[in-house]
Structure 1
Amino acid sequence: MRVHLLVAAPVMLLCLILQGVVVAICLRRYARYRKRWEGREALWMEIALLMAVMLLTLVCNIVQIAIWAVLFLMLGEFQSFVPALYHSSVNFATLGYGDIVMSERWRMLGPIEAANGILMFGMSTSLMTAAVLDVIKSNMARLMDQAKP
């Protein structure tokens, strides 16, 4: 188990850094664009901002899945990238199909990747939730301002 953690640690660290960078970029860009459109009714801008946050977090998660797949290739568990990517996707998303399993030597990397994936999806979800709550808050504030005599 110690060897598995030592092998997985750099990949998990890379995923954490990547997720942190994407979250920070999304928050900064989101805040910048929200400030620009503050006080105006801009349904399409809100939709575009929410879609951008969702798309960036999805791309970030796919890149992380690919990073894990590269690790599996480097360990010699797969002969080509596509099955490694599929297996990594199943692990990262915690689906656990079990139709493709790694050798007994490296099998423990699956649950480690799943733990990493659930954390990263949680971060993505919290970012999207924050964006949606901000849209709701700004719309409520705008409606309250319009209701004032």
Structure 2
Amino acid sequence: MDKLSAPNPILEIALGTVMVILIMLVHGVGIRTINRRFSRSWVLVNNTTPHWRINLLLAVAIGSLAILHFAETLVWAAPISMMGIIPSMRDSYYFVLESYTTLGEGTVKLPDSWRLIGPIMAVSGLFTFGWTGSVLVSIMTEFGKLDRGQAKKESKDSEG
């Protein structure tokens, strides 16, 4: 543990970089899986699909994205706890959630010798939340197209 308590910015940056790459890989695989499942379900949607089914599809997509983020933060928390940087898994996970979301409340802190890891976590969170946001825009674009199509149909029906 003495090696871990002495400041070593190269080790911090190396570990942080490896973790960011791992998190981005996990996020990419997760996003592709969620997007593929959404697309497979979406092709079955038409003007007669009940609204509750369409809304359920949206809820499942959003829930899946949230679970993906919780899994990614667990990937960050596990080595921090196992290495004894923050010994309690619960405190480690709490710290990661604070950093990853850039909340930064600071009630659980890293030892000074590992303080570079927090901002690196924040970078990974910014990347993944941005990516998730773009997926949600894509999903909502599909909903908008469906709504416009239904509005056009209703408009034609009321005219004729």
Q: Normalization by structure 2: what TM-score?
A: 0.86
Written as runs of structure 1 = structure 2, the 5 A alignment for 1:40-119 is 40-119=48-127
Q: Which residue type is aligned with residue 48 of structure 2?
A: R
Between stretches 111-120 and 37-46, larger displacement belongs to 37-46
1:41 CA displacement? 4.1
Contact 1:50 1:128 survives alignment (8 Å): no
| DSSP-derived class of the 1:76 partner | coil
Q: Which residue type is aligned with residue 30 of structure 2?
A: V
Q: Which runs of 4+ in 1 moved over 4 A?
A: none
Residue ranges of structure 2 left out of the alignment (5+ in a row): 1-8
Contact 2:45 2:54 survives alignment (8 Å): no
- Between the aligned partners of 1:3 and 1:50, the Cα distance in structure 2 is 42
Higher Cα Rg, which structure: 2
Residue ranges of structure 1 left out of the alignment (5+ in a row): none
Q: Normalization by structure 1: what TM-score?
A: 0.92
Report sequence identity in percent: 21
- Between the aligned partners of 2:83 and 2:77, the Cα distance in structure 1 is 10
Are 1:125 and 2:133 matched, yes or no? yes
Contact 1:90 1:97 survives alignment (8 Å): yes
1:38 CA displacement? 2.3
